[in-house]
Amino acid sequence: QVAGISGIQGNSSSLLNLPMGVTFDPMVNTYVADAYNHRIQFFLPDQSEGRTIAGITSSPGMNDIQLNTPYSIRLDNQLNLYVVDLGNHRVQKFYAIKQILFCYRY
């Protein structure tokens, strides 16, 4: 098991609520589109506590820092994160993922 707790939904840093998409970076960190919590969670390898790196937990919205039911995620070669924001009918691009990785890594 990489993230979440089987059979339990929630919005704490260790729980997910309808995870829809997952991707990994070259350092084997895990990124999860946590649809009903309206966020993207970041998990270091072998860690059960995640960190919200996009969206605001349990707060759907339309502004640039909010998501509404993120569905799918991908990283490009520069570690930019692309999020299919299903409820807002858009694809969001987040540029700061490289900086986030280094902050959480050390």
**pLDDT surpassing 50 at residue 16:** yes
Distances (CA, A) of 91 to 12, 83, 100: 25, 5, 20
**For the chain, what percent of residues have pLDDT higher than 90?**
59
- Is the CA virtual torsion 17, 15, 25, 38 positive or negative? positive
Q: Which residues pair with 98 in a beta bridge?
A: none
User: What does CATH list as the number for 19-105?
Assistant: 2.40.10.500
The pLDDT value given to residue 5: 67
Question: pLDDT tens digit string along 32-83?
Answer: 999 999 999 999 998 989 999 999 999 899 988 899 999 999 999 888 999 9
pTM to 2 decimals?
Answer: 0.86
Local confidence band at 105 (pLDDT 50, 70, 90 cut-offs)? very low
